[in-house]
Structure 1
Amino acid sequence: MECITWFAPILPGKLEEWKALDAEMAGARADDHKRSRERMGITREVASLMQTPQGDFVCLFHEAEDLAKAFGTLATSDDPYDVWFREQLVKLHGLTSEMLQGPPPAQLTFDYKAG
C-alpha cells in the first residue's frame, strides 16, 4: 500500500467556496465521491483545513495500492463527477489535470507506525 501526505493552497478569497465543496462531497455528492475514489483505487482519503499566516491550505492524505494510477485516473476520467471535481481543483486550488497525472512531488522524510 502506498500513501502520500500533501498540501494544496486554497486560493485567496476561496475559503467559503472550499468549505461548501467539502460539505457537498460529504453530503449531496457523497455517493459520487465514493464511486470516484473506488474507480481511482483510493482506500483512504483525509482532508484537513490548515490556516496559517501565509494563507489557507488543505492538508491531504491519500492511500492506494498504486498512487500513480489513482491520480492518473482522476486526471483523465470523463465521469461527470470527476470532471466536476477537477473543475473545483482548478477554481479553488489552481491545480490542473496535468498536475494530477501522478502523485504530487512530495519527499517522505519520516514515517512512524506503532506495532
Structure 2
Amino acid sequence: MAMMVLTRLIPPEKYEEWRATLAAFGGPRREEYTAARTRQGVTRQGVFVEHTSDGPMEIMVMEADDPGRALEMIATSEEPFDVEFRAYLLNTLGLDLSQPPAGPPPEQVLDWTAPARSHA
C-alpha cells in the first residue's frame, strides 16, 4: 500500500469550521465519507492538526494502491459528496484540486514497517 502526506495551513478564522466538518466526516457523515474514499481506492486516511507559530496546520495521511490516482478522482468526480468536498477544501483551506499543485509533492524519505510478530 502506498502512502501520501499533504500539509496545509488552516486559516485561523476557518479553524472551527474545519474541525466541525472533520468531526462530521467521522460521525454523522461517516457513511458518505467511507463510500467516497472506497470509490477512490483509499484504504486508510488520517488527518492531524499541528499548532505552529504560523497557525494551525492540517497534516493528511492517505494510504491507497495509487494515492495520486485517488487524489485525481477526488479532484474530478461529479458525485455530489465529492463536489461538496472540493468546495469545502476551497472554502476552508483555499485548496483548489482542479489546479496543479504549486510545487512537487512531498518527498518520502523513510518507509518503515514493523516485522510480522510470531504468535507463541
TM-score (norm 2): 0.87
Partner of residue 82, structure 1: 82
1:1-115 superposed matches below 5 A? 1-99=1-99, 105-115=105-115
RMSD: 1.6
State the Cα distance separating 1:69 from its structure 2 match: 1.3
State the Cα distance separating 1:6 from its structure 2 match: 2.1
Equivalences, count: 113
- 8 Å Cα contact 2:76/2:98 also seen in 1: no
The 2-side partners of 1:21 and 1:99 are apart by 23
The 1-side partners of 2:21 and 2:9 are apart by 15
Runs of 5+ unmatched residues, structure 2: 116-120
- Whichever of the two has the greater Rg, that structure is 2
Which contiguous aligned blocks of 4+ residues in structure 1 show a shift greater than 6 angstroms?
Answer: none
- 8 Å Cα contact 1:45/1:61 also seen in 2: yes
Runs of 5+ unmatched residues, structure 1: none
Identical pairs, percent: 33
